[in-house]
Structure 1
Amino acid sequence: MDQELLDICQQIFKNIISQLTLHLRFMDLALDQFTLVPQQKSIEISCDGTYLYYHPLFVIKTYQHRPDGLTRGYLHIVLHAVFRHPFLSVHMQASLWDLACDIAVENMISELKLAFLEKDENQEKQRELAAMKEKVDLLSAQKIYAYLRDQVDPDKVKWLKTLFYFDDHACWYDFNQTVNRKSKLYGEESKDDPGSSSDNEFENASHDNPHDSPNKEKSKRQLTASELQQLKNSQEKWRRIQERIKTDLETFSRDDQPAASQLIQALKPLKREKYDYATFLRKFMVQGEKVKLNDNDFDYIFYTYGLKLYHNMPLIEALEQSELANLRDFVIAIDTSGSVSGPIVQSFLEKTYNIFKQRDHFFERFNVHIIQCDAKIQEDMKITTFDQFDKYIQQMEIKGLGGTDFRPVFSHVDELLEKKELTRLQGLIYFTDGDGIYPQYQPRYRTAFVFIDSKAYDQAKVPAWAIKYLIEDDEMEDFNA
């Protein structure tokens, strides 16, 4: 590779970083994080959060003809990393997630109102952003993804890809495919069968560069252990950078940056700890003995020695008790007011059922009460076996559809405790949109309110003694997969 070309590219990127830092002081750390890697592959430019891969001729030609376009493109890539887009795509349909991320960062660049970039604004792009803002309350990648998935036809999606495209995202999926199969970065279950390596969300998805040929084959490379660790470190690094940017905007730079409030709002959802629903459920589990083969405490040396010496006569039997985190008594309350739909409730219960069943999360004898309630108790179904649980999900009918009052459920559960119907209650999960009357007192058991809408989650006045959990858009996609 021609060293003179590489030197020119290095100088171009240096100039871009200097120019952006001058106008975006709160992003100084973020703008100079990438290790530049020249390559001569068909991909013009891409970034995994650590390395920025570029074709030298693409960089030089673009800078010659549209210097502000390349500067905008570099900021586009940096904002992907700031919003941690490469690391949040585990349960997404790749082609839609790519487009949603591109739209989100292009909107933010427009909101920053940098005068030297405004002459590179595409009017068609601005019209599409304006139209989208009328339908999506906050143009975050997650909300745009849901909008594209539910309301935009495939032909329009294809056109939008070309309009908002700058960088190739294939390397994002090297990371997430490896994580999905090996380390389960956001928890142990990414699908209902957590042990399966074939249930990869991206097996049939496309994240092709819209400027490439239709026959381009997407990346399926598995990362090595060192590469995976490096990218995990990169994810943590960008989380810290994002926190620093947010703090800087909230304190020192708000008056200097007209778009500070928009960027703060865009960063706000990212502050939440990201872990999956299965991990959340483990908060309610307790230690208990369960009769099953205990591999951890079993001495294979004496066992195999006995088989060898005495022919099929082990010197020691396998231990059959194991300490496991399990549930015995549990309450699932369902808000059946008019604002919560039946299919979503059913999907929620199915996912809960699958997590419990896959991981032996229940003792042999358990006692689950599924309570439907709007402004009053509509139904209390007692479940003691997995067959009953499965049958209930398949045949359930939503009852109520009135207003929302959470208090009757807590009064009812208190009565069950007094009657000894629930003797070892681990907790109560209330699936709701959050718009209702909360009890004033703290119950004797752990309580969580589970939300499906981020706006309702942010606005809900959940008591301090309760846990709040938001099922993100990507998790809802996984529920319905």
Structure 2
Amino acid sequence: MCVEIIKVASEVLNFSRQRTLVNMRFLEPAIRMLTESPSKCMCNRSYGMGTDGKNLYYNPEYVLRAYQKEKGFVSRMYLHLVVHGIFRHFFVNPQIEQRKWDLACDMATEYIIESWKLDFADISAGADEKRELDRIRKNVGLMNAEKIYGYLKKTKESEIDWLEKIFRRDDHSFWYPETKNRNDVIQVKSGQVNQNREVMFSNQKLEELWKQAAKKIQVDLETFMKSRSGETGDFLVNLKLANRKKQDYSAFLRKFTRLGERMKINDEEFDYNFYTYGMQLYGNMPLIEPLEYKDVRVVKTFVTVIDTSGSVEEEKLRRFLEKTYQILKSGQKSEDRVNFHLIQCDALVQKDVKITSEKELEQVMEDLTLYGRGGTDFRPAFEYIEELRKNGELTNLNGMLYFTDGMGVYPRKKPEYPVAFIYDSEVLDKIPEVPAWAIRYLMDDI
């Protein structure tokens, strides 16, 4: 390939990078993560640019043709690859459906870029994109790659084909180890392939570097760039979601449902023969002191409240209950005694089902019917639970889970037991201030 073509293409990319930095200063930590590398292998590929998280690979001829045809396109592609990195799209679960994951990542990325309304990165294909993105957002809510991927898994192949024509632009083969070919990076000075061009980075180390860059961007947006919150709202919500520390729901739930143990006099292991002999021999002194205590498993007492107001989707409620049920079931032993309450509440407590065995738990899941669909007020559920505690129904309450969209009236007073509110990530940016005593958990981690 002509060295002059490579040189000019490099200048075009450098111009696009500088333009992006001037207009989107907060993206600098991510932009600095990528090294531009003209790649020989991309000359025969459908897409002329791609990244593996360390290098920004590009076909020089593709870059020049694209820039000549539409000057904003190269800047758009540069942003596209940077956003892939911010959300770590290229660190892929081996079990993922590659085609649908690739498309979901491109759609999520284009949605973010479109929300920025950038004149310097505007492209003529934007009209089709906007229409499809608006349509899909009505189905998935929060537009991140994971949500869109879930939607695409249930989508017909004909629609997948259509969406790929609109959104697929960059080469994702670098994301997958079996298709990566990094030994063909062109050296600008010599025009030769350097077999040892790349420094070996483990995926774990590279992912950590991208996490650090993403967190720095989040901090900048939250502190120094509040004036741009209108432009970066959707991006910041997705960024907070991607940067949060994920918890294992199984471990989280078991904190609330762990069976306790208490000390109790152990009459079974007490030897009355020696005791009686001592009393007879010495008058008032037993020969052997009894084994005074033993560990006794106490009843597991736990409450789950589900918000049955119209704003919470029934499908998500059922998914939450199904997952919770599976975890509770897996932690059960035949001798365990349980006292679960499944409470339905909108603005009023609508129904309370008491569960004391695995069989009852299975029956409730099979026959579950939701009641309510009114407004949302969390206080009635807490008041009802307090009544149950006072009358002895909920002694030694381990904790309470409250599945909700977060839009309701919270109690002011901290209860005497741990409480976790389970939210859907779609309402992450709309949840009002939650009391300091409440634990927050996102359903995306379930």
Length-normalised TM-score, structure 1: 0.65
* Local SS of the residue matching 1:448: strand
Structure 1 residue 154 displacement after superposition: 3.9
State the partner residue of 1:441. Answer: 413
1:388 aligned to which of 355, 360, 366: 360
Higher Rg of the two aligned structures: 2
CA distance in 1, matches of 2:430, 2:227: 25
- 1:139-170 per-residue CA deviation (whole Å, 9 max, x = no partner) reads 444555566567x6542332121211122335
- Please state how far the C-alpha of 1:359 moved relative to its aligned partner: 5.2
Deviations 1:175-221 (A, max 9, x none): 9xxxxxxxxxxxxxxxxxxxxxxxxxxxxxxxxxxxxxxxxxxxxxx
Correspondences of 1:400-439 after superposition (within 5 Å): 400-439=372-411
Deviation of residue 115 (structure 1)? 4.1
Return the alpha-carbon distance in structure 1 between the equivalents of residues 228 and 404 of structure 2: 40
Q: Is the 8 A contact 1:434 1:457 kept in 2?
A: no
> Per-residue deviation at 1:280?
3.0
| Contact kept? 2:10, 2:60, Cα under 8 Å | no
Q: Aligned partners of 2:419, 2:344: CA distance in 1, in Å?
A: 16
SS in 1 for 2:441: strand
Task: Report what 1:273 is aligned to.
Answer: 245
Instruction: Indicate yes or no: 2:332 matched with 1:332.
Output: no
What secondary structure sits across from 1:86 in the alignment?
Answer: coil
The separation in 2 between residues aligned to 1:411 and 1:445, in whole angstroms, is 13
Work out the CA distance in 1 between the residues paired with 2:86 and 2:377.
40
**Which of 363, 377, 391 is 2:349 aligned to?**
377
Distance (whole Å) between structure 1 residues aligned to residue 229 and residue 301 of structure 2: 53
Counterpart Cα distance in 2 of 1:387 and 1:172: 46
1:244 aligns with 2:248: no
Specify the alignment match of 1:70 in structure 2: 74
Does residue 117 in structure 1 map to residue 121 in structure 2?
A: yes
The alpha carbon displacement at 1:66 in A equals 1.4
> Counterpart in 2 of 1:224?
none
The reply on whether 1:169 has 2:168 as its aligned counterpart is no
Amino acid at match of 1:86: F
35-44 or 331-340: bigger deviation: 35-44
Partners of 1:361 and 1:77 lie apart in 2 by 50
**Pairwise CA distance, 1:269:** 3.7
Q: 1:40 matched to which residue of 2? A: 41
TM-score (norm 2): 0.69
Paired amino acid for 1:128: R
Among residues 434, 438, 442, which one is paired with 1:466 in the alignment? 438
Q: Report the CA distance between 1:251 and its aligned residue.
A: 4.8
Is the alpha carbon distance of 1:79 and 1:450 closer, same or farther for their aligned partners in structure 2, counting shifts above 3 Å? same
Give the aligned partner of residue 60 of structure 2. Answer: 60
Count the aligned residue pairs: 382
Q: Give the corresponding residue for 1:358.
A: 330
Q: Please list every run of 5 or more consecutive structure 2 residues that lacks an aligned counterpart in the other structure.
A: 179-199, 263-294
Shift of 1:433: 2.8
Shift of 1:429: 0.5
Summarize the Cα distance change of 1:254–1:457 in structure 2 as closer, same or farther, 3 Å threshold.
closer
Identical columns (%): 35
CA distance in 1, matches of 2:143, 2:223: 24
The match for 2:203 is 231
Deviation of 1:471 (Å): 0.9
Q: 1:404 to 1:95 in 2, by over 3 A?
A: same
Task: Call closer, same or farther: CA 1:456–1:233 in 2, change over 3 Å.
Answer: closer
Q: Could you tell me how far 1:285 is from its partner in structure 2?
A: 5.1
Judged with a 3 Å threshold, the aligned counterparts in structure 2 of structure 1 residues 257 and 117 are, in CA distance, closer, same or farther, namely farther
Paired AA for residue 30 in structure 1: A
1:351 Cα deviation after fit: 0.8
